[in-house]
Chains A and B, each alone.
Chain A
Amino acid sequence: MRSPDTAVAHRAPIRQLLAKELWDIASGRALWIMLLILCPLVGYSFFQAVSLYKEASAAAVDSPVLGSGLAPLDGVLVPTFGGLYLVATLLFPFVAIRTLGREKESGALALLVQLPYRVLTLVAAKMAAIFGAWVAAVICAASALPLWLALGGHLYLPETLDLVFGHVLYGVLIGAIALFSASISESAATAAIITLAFTIGSWALDFALAGQTGVFGWISQLSLTQTLRPFEQGLLPAGLLLGILAAIGGFAALAAVWLHPGVPLGTKCVRSLVCLAIAAAAMGVSTQVRRTVDLAEDRHNSFPAADQRALAELREPLIITVHLAPEDPRYVDLRRNVLAKLERAMPRVAVRLATSGQSMVGSTSEEAYGEVEYSYGGRSDKSRSTSHREILPLVYALAGRPIPEPIPGQDYPGYPLLADGSPALAWFLGALPLLIVAAWWWSRRPPQIPTQLVKSGGDI
């Protein structure tokens, strides 16, 4: 007879919990239906992208200049993974919510929180299952990559992995939001509404506040879709990466706070504030991390290599005052072609808009509108150009440095390809869905049951 007052051992094998979460997410229909919907979305995106790439390549085959503008990342990979982005935004929340929502609705949560695991461990296991489910989706989408190679296409591994990594992060971030939503909602439907408010709300932010400055500009940066853009450009920004990880951790921590039904509401609120403060601090720190690696093969996010090296040696702050409205296309060009690259290339760059909003047009500074002032080392100069070919010599002149000699052999050759993407349709609309259905069927097989259990009969 066991002692009647012995406490149950606190620690239990984590492997069992992980297995339980994985078979829980795999046994539902949501994951498999999402994967099946993903197939035509990614497949058609890939087919369309290859077709358009072929049209563009037809003109570029005999012209190296035109050919240098054909990059597989922009032309094929980003559009193909666009289908995955749609699935992450609109469908994956339902899969992720299921990891907790079903347990809340069925009453299993009361059993789950009594298992000998810390709440953080329970949430970590659920996040692991969400990660596993999303990786399955990414693998399905990434099956376009070997198809592209088989068609004769070119892949540059660093930028390709960067793009895939960005989509993995984006999906896990959505999953963390979904888990948090499920933890604070009584039903899966409510959790879905909350999560979609985040994801679709991001689209609204993109449309309504793009190009704004000040508070609106800051709010627009909260859009989830902004997290994916740098990865689609072949960039690996350390600050953004830290910020996304902080957000994922923050949402997971909030889910842990709200998971246990036995904790009083006031305690949950206090703990939530602590989590939010820590996550906000971490995200604040991440905004100060400016290190960004340009992994794109065509280096379109950077100046020519010689300029990059020369600019990196300019240690004093470069202050740029822009007399343009943020919604002005010239500012957009300047931002993309020069300012963003300068911020990545130079250690200390400060950009400020002389005035903000549309009120600038027609204001007293009308004559100065369009000017951009560059100040370095106590000297300054102005320009209206949005091209680095004019601005970089200006900066070198301010710094008293010579214009660096171009490094030969650095030009991006471009990869035009006249290929037919039709075979991809057979994969994405036929073979891959069949494989997914087979995996679904395999996942639903009954477990092996020891003979002594089956033969144990019953008293009742």
Chain B
Amino acid sequence: MPPSSVPAPVLLQVEGLAKRYGDQRALSDISFAVHAGEVLGLIGPNGAGKTTLMEAIAGVLAADAGHVLWRGTPLPLPRRREFLFYLPDGVRPWEDQYVARVTELFATIYGRPDSVVAETIRALGLASVLRKRIAELSKGYGRRLLLALALLTPHPLVLMDEPFDGFDLRQTRDVMGVLREVAASGRTLVLAIHQLGDAARVCDRFVLLAEGRIRGAGTLAGLRAQTGSPAAGLEDIFLALT
């Protein structure tokens, strides 16, 4: 988020979100805000509830309790897809189809101009696999395709679950650059990341999640102040708060 004396308005507000799977509590009283134009990181180890939280926010999973508000107005489940787009982790959609056909599908459905499609494909390096079937893609290219689909949507807020999974160090940094550009263009990103180093590099603010509860939220500086560790890294802060 560009430095400014005036804080960006709250775009999305999550209030008291809860979800249980049988006896297991996946999310418990989750509340936080997402500001316009920022890159917010949902940070936590595997099993912390990041995916459940994203799915509940996006409305592809029924929450047991809680609300999602858009600029202070409750956002009912059927209307979530008008404002949010959720990119799930570990999916390989429409495997029998060609990469070009699926990207064209998203571009056409959302009325994206050819220039945006070309730029997205260029930015994510998909040109060489457009004629390949999705089933033939490596894990990294599969992830790039998913990112491309998310970036081809026009939604003001995009939730991405583990967007760097499957990338090597260089590719991760390149994708971070792409996502920063997207955020700079005015879109808001919420990224679920379990690699704290990656999160520290790309996110403006963080929501620390463990065992379905929020253990801390804020900028790196704010979290340092909260833990009383002015020189601590995100890993140290996370360990201190959980």
Contacts and interface: CB of A to CB of B under 8 A. Distances in A.
Interface size class of B (residues with CB under 8 A): 35 or more
Tell me what chain A mostly uses at the interface: helix, strand, loop, or mixed.
Answer: loop
A7 interface: yes
A450 B100 CA distance: 10
Contact of B59 (A8, A262, A455, A460): A262
Nearest to B59: A262
B146 to A, nearest CB: 9
Contact of A459 (B83, B100, B174, B187): B174
Nearest to B56: A262
Contacts of A276: none
B240 interface: no
Interface stretch (A21-29, A37-45, A240-248, A341-349): A21-29
A19 B108 CA distance: 11
A450 B94 contact: no
Given A2-B154, A106-B94, A116-B81, A455 B100 contact: no
Contacts of A107: 88, 90-93
A261 interface: yes
A402 interface: no
B230 interface: no
Nearest to B170: A460
A453 B117 contact: yes
B138 interface: no
Interface string B63-98: 000000011000001010111011010111111111
Interface in B109-168: 109-111, 114, 117-119, 121-128, 130-131, 144, 149, 153-157
B175 interface: yes
A449 B118 CA distance: 11
Contacts of A13: 108-109
B100 A446 contact: yes
A106 B92 CA distance: 6
B175 A460 contact: yes
A96 B178 CA distance: 40
B101 interface: yes
B186 interface: yes
Interface string A97-133: 0000011001110110111100000000000000000
Contact of B93 (A27, A108, A260): A108
Contacts of B5: none
A113 B55 CA distance: 12
Contact of B121 (A19, A23, A262, A453): A453
A110 B154 contact: no
Interface string A17-59: 1011001100110000000000000000000000000000000
A149 interface: no
A364 interface: no
Contacts of B24: none
A5 B114 contact: no
Contacts of A362: none
B101 A23 contact: yes
B71 A5 contact: yes
A449 B100 contact: yes
B123 A459 contact: yes
B98 A447 contact: yes
Contacts of A264: 62
A16 interface: yes
Contacts of B110: 8, 12, 116
Given A13-B109, A23-B97, A6 B60 contact: no
Contacts of B185: 1-2
Given A264-B62, A453-B100, A103 B93 contact: yes
Given A4-B36, A8-B110, A8-B155, A458 B90 contact: no
Nearest to A12: B109
Nearest to A265: B62
Contacts of B111: 9, 12
B125 to A, nearest CB: 3
A114 B127 contact: no
A457 interface: yes
A262 B19 CA distance: 12
Given A110-B58, A115-B109, A263-B77, 14 more contacts: A5-B156, A20-B105, A24-B97, A110-B55, A113-B81, A114-B86, A262-B59, A265-B62, A449-B130, A454-B127, A455-B127, A457-B122, A457-B127, A460-B125
29 contacts: A2-B186, A3-B156, A5-B70, A8-B155, A9-B111, A12-B109, A13-B108, A16-B108, A16-B109, A24-B97, A106-B92, A107-B92, A108-B93, A111-B91, A114-B85, A116-B109, A116-B110, A262-B59, A262-B60, A262-B61, A446-B131, A452-B118, A453-B100, A453-B127, A456-B121, A457-B122, A457-B125, A459-B122, A459-B174
Interface of B: 11, 36-37, 55, 58-62, 70-71, 77, 79, 81-83, 85-86, 88, 90-98, 100-101, 104-105, 108-111, 114, 117-119, 121-128, 130-131, 144, 149, 153-157, 171, 174-175, 177-178, 185-188
